[in-house]
Amino acid sequence: MTGIGRRGLAGLGLATLARPALAQDGWPSRPVRIIVPFTPGGSNDAMARPLSERLQARFGQPFVIENRPGAGSAVGVGMVAQAAPDAHTLLVTTSSVAAIGAVQGTSFDPTKDLDTVAFIAKAPLVVLVKPDSRFRSIKDIVAADKARPGTLTYATSGPGSTTHIMTELFNLRAGTQLVHVPYRGTAPALTDVVAGRVDMMFTTIASGAGQIRGNLLRIIAYCDDGRPEGTPDAPTVKQEGIDYTGNIWWGLFGPRGLPAGPRERLNAAVNDVLRDPAFARYLANEGAVPAPMTTAQFDGFVRQEHTLLREVVAAAKIRAD
């Protein structure tokens, strides 16, 4: 999973948090666990930790982050899917949850074994190349691929990763044959794009922030609109004539069967946090934008993502090995 740059939490205005809300229906009656199914320090931590502080202040119980990595997030997601649906075990994860079953053949289905709670944020993918690359636009990449199919390469943080799936979706939508070059993590993948050993990479702004600021890599296109303020100017892939959208998103989930009261109060609390200008600025520094949704809207969104990503995984024969 792509890492995301640390900016610190000092700018979030935590001192201005609201007083704890009185517990309703006995919830929360004890500390709430938030499972993050990846190692500490990644993008999921960047979303979960400041959010947990806000929720703790709002509900008057500790919201404790537990990093439970393994099997491409399947270990942590599975823990939550099997937990008691009492809203005391929650999950913060990324868009990979929508395809994990198709990629790894897990025993759980996120549309059946998890309840959506709140959409947190999304970050548009960007297409990165070397500053002196012959590719100045998406149209250049498509034209070069059409001239010599299967010769252009793209790097990812690993097989079955979200960026792998989303780049294969680009292949399907653009009719290209970009060749996947997987790495063990985002850092070595970026290093080889900088060195010119791989032609390009679809990733988040935050993941490539150091290389972009240092003029080691150049953004030639955004894969979604609504890009964060202060980011380099470039067209979207759709503006280049390809019907393609690519982003990474983060959300809060719980086990299937969450009580309606805690679920809706959590949704309202997260949406309040997302409307806070201080939190929005924090997300912008992380290359992301807030995206408040109701539980019903988020549920419909996840189902659409699940269907789309499973179709891409099947069409591109993607496996996490």
- Does the structure show a pLDDT above 80 at 162? yes
Q: Which residue has the tokens 């979030």?
A: 12
Task: List the one residue out of 305, 286, 287 whose CA is nearest residue 116.
Answer: 305
Name the token pair of 132.
């002196």
Q: What is the pLDDT of residue 36?
A: 95
Position 19 pLDDT exceeds 70: no
What's the confidence (pLDDT) of residue 185?
87
* pLDDT for 18 beyond 50: no
Helical ranges in the chain per DSSP H: 43-59, 74-81, 100-104, 110-113, 138-147, 162-174, 186-194, 209-213, 260-274, 277-285, 295-316
User: Does residue 209 carry a pLDDT above 50?
Assistant: yes
Entry pTM:
0.86
The answer to whether residue 8 scores a pLDDT higher than 50 is: no
**Cα Rg, the chain, nearest whole Å:** 20
Residue 202 belongs to what H/E stretch?
A: strand 200-204
CA 219 to chain centre: 19
Structure tokens at 14: 């935590």
Q: Report the pLDDT value the prediction gives residue 12, as an integer from 0 to 100.
A: 52
Task: Give the separation between CA 65 and CA 67, rounded to whole angstroms.
Answer: 7
- pLDDT (tens digit per residue) in 254-284: 999 999 999 999 999 999 999 999 999 999 8
Share of the chain above pLDDT 90, in %: 73
**How large is the average pLDDT for residues 6-23?**
46
Query: Burial level of 248, CB count in 10 A (0-12/13-18/19+)?
Result: buried
Q: Are strands 63-67 and 32-36 parallel, antiparallel or unpaired?
A: parallel
Please tell me the predicted confidence (pLDDT) of residue 23: 54
All structural domains of the chain, each given as residue ranges with its CATH number in brackets, are 10-122+249-316 (3.40.190.150), 124-240 (3.40.190.10)
In tens, the pLDDT along 58-111 reads 999 999 999 999 887 889 999 999 999 999 999 999 998 888 877 887 888 878
Top-confidence residue, 2 or 190 = 190
Q: Is the pLDDT of residue 122 over 80?
A: yes
What integer best gives the mean pLDDT of the chain? 90
In tens, the pLDDT along 70-84 reads: 887 889 999 999 999
Q: Is 161 a residue whose pLDDT tops 70? A: yes
Mean pLDDT across 179-200? 95
pLDDT > 80? residue 134: yes
- pLDDT the model gives residue 11: 47
